[in-house]
Amino acid sequence: METENRDYKYFIQDTGNVYLGAKLSYTEILQDEMVNFKYKSIVEHYIFKDTDPETTLESHLYYMTKEQFSYRTYEQLKAKVKVNLLEEKKNFFGRKKTGYATKLMSLGEFADMNLAQKKAKGVVIQELALSKLGLMTFSV
């Protein structure tokens, strides 16, 4: 099981964003020396108000509602969620085909989907993307 999750346990960054693999738990994030200190501080001071440290990003995001304090925190960080979901497409011959498509959604757009919609669309969360500008302007 651990080898399956390894592909989705990562922390990478580019010039504008920070990306966290969805299989990471908050405990693993806090222990990873590559994760920047400010995000770790935000997790400890704000995310843990309504989230258990052993929770994975995938689970937290999947069940997150707009009423949670952690949702408001991630909104301030300009969070986006990269997901795979089932979509029906037409092929060249006009036949309908169902398959998974990757989509980058704002946190608000993702939280607007209720659990029944997420299950019906077969949502699989891949990663959480945070804006570096959002991180920089966030006061801890």
Per-residue pLDDT of the chain (140 residues; tens, 9 = 90+): 455 566 789 999 999 999 999 999 999 999 999 999 999 999 999 999 999 999 999 999 999 999 999 999 999 999 999 999 998 887 777 788 888 899 999 999 999 999 999 999 999 999 999 999 999 999 88
- What CATH number does the domain containing 49 carry? 3.30.465.10
Task: Provide the residue range defining the domain that includes 93.
Answer: 2-137
Q: 57: how many CB neighbours lie within 10 A of its CB? A: 24
Domain tally, the chain = 1
What is the β-pairing status of strands 80-90 and 17-21?
unpaired
Tell me the one-letter amino acid at 19.
Answer: Y
pTM: 0.87
Q: 49: how many CB neighbours lie within 10 A of its CB? A: 11
> Across the strands, what pairs with 75?
none
- Residue 72: in which H helix or E strand, if any? helix 69-76
The DSSP secondary-structure symbol of 26 reads H
